[in-house]
Structure 1
Amino acid sequence: MKIIFRCDPNLHDYLPKPAAARSCLPDWLRQMSSTSFSEFHGRDIRTVKQCPPFVDAMTHGFMILLPCDVTVEAGKFSWDWDVPIPAAKNHPRAPMSFHVPEQILGSALAKEGTSQLAAIKFNSFWTIELEEKWSLFATHPANREELPFRTVTGMVDCDRFHDAGINFPAIWTSPDFEGVLPRGLPIAHCFPVRREELELVYESFDGKQIDCYDRTVGEILVEPGIYRKKFRDKRSRSAGKKRA
Structure 2
Amino acid sequence: MSETDSLTLKFRCPKELEGRIPQPVPAPMGVPEWVKSMPATAFSALNQAEEQTVKRCPPFIDAMTTGFLIPLICDLKVEDGGISWDNELPPGGAIDFPRSPISFHDVSQVTGSPLFEADRFLLKFHNLWTIEAPDGWALLFTHPVNRFDLPFTTVTGLVDSDRFHDSFVHFPAHWHDTAFRGVLPKGTPVAQCIPVKRQSWAMQTSAFTEEEIADIHEVRDALKRETGVYRKRFRA
CA deviations over 1:189-229 (Å, ceiling 9, x no partner)? 11111121111112222222111110011101111111001
State the shift of 1:105 in Å: 2.2
CA deviations over 1:44-69 (Å, ceiling 9, x no partner)? 10010100001111001110000111
How does the TM-score come out when normalised to structure 2? 0.94
- Equivalent in 15, 19, 22 of residue 9 of structure 1: 15
Q: Which consecutive unaligned segments of at least 5 residues does structure 2 have?
A: 1-6
- Report whether the alignment pairs 1:64 with 2:70: yes
Q: Matched residues in 1 for 2:119 and 2:47: separation?
A: 43
State the shift of 1:89 in Å: 4.8
- Report whether the alignment pairs 1:97 with 2:100: no
Q: Matched residues in 2 for 1:86 and 1:200: separation?
A: 49
**Match for residue 184 of structure 1?**
187
Letter in 2 for 1:148: P
**Match for residue 231 of structure 2?**
228
SS of structure 2 residue aligned to 1:13: coil
Aligned residues: 230
**Match for residue 25 of structure 2?**
19
RMSD of Structure 2 on Structure 1 (CA): 1.1
Q: How does 1:91-240 map to 2 (within 5 A)?
A: 91-111=97-117, 114-116=119-121, 119-233=122-236
CA contact (8 A) 2:138 2:161 kept: yes
SS of structure 2 residue aligned to 1:224: coil
State the shift of 1:114 in Å: 4.2
**Match for residue 86 of structure 2?**
80
Letter in 2 for 1:146: D
Q: Which consecutive unaligned segments of at least 5 residues does structure 1 have?
A: 234-244
CA contact (8 A) 1:9 1:86 kept: no
CA contact (8 A) 1:148 1:177 kept: yes
State the shift of 1:26 in Å: 0.8
SS of structure 2 residue aligned to 1:10: helix
CA contact (8 A) 1:140 1:188 kept: yes
CA deviations over 1:85-141 (Å, ceiling 9, x no partner)? 122453111111011111112102224x5413xx00001100000011211101101
SS of structure 2 residue aligned to 1:189: strand
SS of structure 1 residue aligned to 2:60: helix
How does the TM-score come out when normalised to structure 1? 0.91
SS of structure 1 residue aligned to 2:135: coil
CA contact (8 A) 1:16 1:65 kept: yes
**Match for residue 46 of structure 1?**
52
Letter in 2 for 1:42: Q
